[in-house]
Amino acid sequence: MHQLPYHRTKKVTLLLGLVSTLVFGSLIAWQSYTSYKDTPQAPCYASIDFVYSPDNEQRWVGKGDMSINMKSGAIYLYFSLLDPAKNQSIYNRRLDVEFDHLDSSRFLFNTLNTVTFEGDTSAQKAPFMRRGLEGGLITYSRFSDVEYFYNINNILMGVCHVPT
């Protein structure tokens, strides 16, 4: 078998090392760019309109507003909640959360602190919201530069608008 001279072996090894560094560096840069583009860079605001039914007998309905601020780690929720007995209550809270980046569009969040604002009357009436937003998964899919589709634990889903 023919062997390359020593100086050519060094050149080929150096060239292959540079090419592989360039390829993997480009892939890492592309992943960083897509992660940056898939996350709202400013607080996004959304209307909440949901129906939650844990079984066939109970049906919870909610309408209101929400904002998610990834940089300061806060989720603000304000909505009117109608329980299965048709009793209305107000859910008005700020959740101080910690986001863990899983991939380009999914974040695991853990609620560190909950601040209940004046007028919140849903203290013990919405157990699924208490459990669902103590932590979980938030997913973003970017529609345009100012719209993001969000899904929080399959309870709150919709379009989040980033002001321009």
Is the pTM of the predicted complex or chain greater than 0.85? no
80 neighbors 62 (Cβ within 8 angstroms):
yes
Of residues 88 and 3, more confidently modeled: 88
So what's the pLDDT on residue 46?
A: 92
Model confidence over 106-123: pLDDT tens digits? 889 998 888 888 888 876
Structure confidence at residue 143 (pLDDT): 83
Q: What is the CA radius of gyration of the chain?
A: 24
The torsion angle over the Cα atoms of residues 25, 37, 133 and 59, rounded to 10 degrees, is: -130
pLDDT digits (tens, 9 = 90+) for 33-83: 776 777 777 889 999 888 888 776 778 888 999 999 988 899 998 989 888
Q: Report residue 17's pLDDT band, with 50, 70 and 90 as the boundaries.
A: very high
Query: Is a pLDDT exceeding 90 seen at residue 16?
Result: yes
Residue whose structure tokens are 């049906």: 59
Please compute, for residue 37, the number of CA atoms within 13 A of its CA located in the half-sphere on the CB side.
10
**Strand ranges (DSSP E) for 20-164?**
44-52, 60-69, 74-82, 88-101, 106-116, 135-142, 147-152, 156-161
